[in-house]
Chain A
Amino acid sequence: QKEVEQNSGPLSVPEGAIASLNCTYSDRVSQSFFWYRQYSGKSPELIMSIYSNGDKEDGRFTAQLNKASQYVSLLIRDSQPSDSATYLCAVIAGGATNKLIFGTGTLLAVQP
Chain B
Amino acid sequence: DVKVTQSSRYLVKRTGEKVFLECVQDMDHENMFWYRQDPGLGLRLIYFSYDVKMKEKGDIPEGYSVSREKKERFSLILESASTNQTSMYLCASRGTPSREQFFGPGTRLTVL
Interface-central residue, A43, A46, A102, by most chain B CB under 10 Å: A43
The one of B33, B48, B96, B100 that contacts A46, using a Cβ cutoff of 8 Å:
B100
Whether the Cβ atoms of B42 and A42 lie closer than 8 Å is no
Contact status of A102 and B42, CB under 8 A, knowing A46-B100, A49-B100: yes
With a cutoff of 8 Å between Cβ atoms, the chain B residues found around residue A92 in the complex are: 99
Whether the Cβ atoms of B45 and A34 lie closer than 8 Å is no
Residue B66, interface by CB 8 Å: no
Q: How large is the interface on B (under 10, 10 to 19, 20 to 34, 35 or more residues)?
A: 10 to 19
Whether the Cβ atoms of B105 and A44 lie closer than 8 Å is no
With a cutoff of 8 Å between Cβ atoms, the chain B residues found around residue A105 in the complex are: 42
Whether the Cβ atoms of A42 and B99 lie closer than 8 Å is no
Whether the Cβ atoms of B43 and A88 lie closer than 8 Å is yes
With a cutoff of 8 Å between Cβ atoms, the chain B residues found around residue A36 in the complex are: 103
Shortest A26–chain B CB gap in Å is 16
Residue A66, interface by CB 8 Å: no
Whether the Cβ atoms of B99 and A99 lie closer than 8 Å is no
Count contacts on A: residues with CB < 8 A to the other chain. 20
Contact status of A34 and B42, CB under 8 A, knowing A42-B105, A43-B105: no
With a cutoff of 8 Å between Cβ atoms, the chain B residues found around residue A104 in the complex are: 42
> Which residues of chain B from 56 to 112 have a CB within 8 Å of any chain A CB?
56, 58, 90, 94, 96, 99-106
Residue A1, interface by CB 8 Å: no
A102 to B43, CA, bound (A): 7
A38 to B105, CA, bound (A): 11
CB-defined A-B contacts under 8 Å, sample of 27 = A32-B99, A34-B100, A36-B103, A42-B106, A43-B103, A43-B104, A43-B105, A44-B43, A44-B90, A44-B103, A45-B103, A46-B100, A46-B101, A46-B102, A49-B99, A88-B43, A90-B101, A92-B99, A98-B31, A98-B96, A99-B48, A100-B94, A100-B101, A102-B42, A103-B42, A104-B42, A105-B42
Give the A-binding residues of B (Cβ under 8 A). 31, 33, 42-43, 45, 48, 56, 58, 90, 94, 96, 99-106
Give the B-binding residues of A (Cβ under 8 A). 32, 34, 36, 42-46, 49, 88, 90, 92, 97-100, 102-105
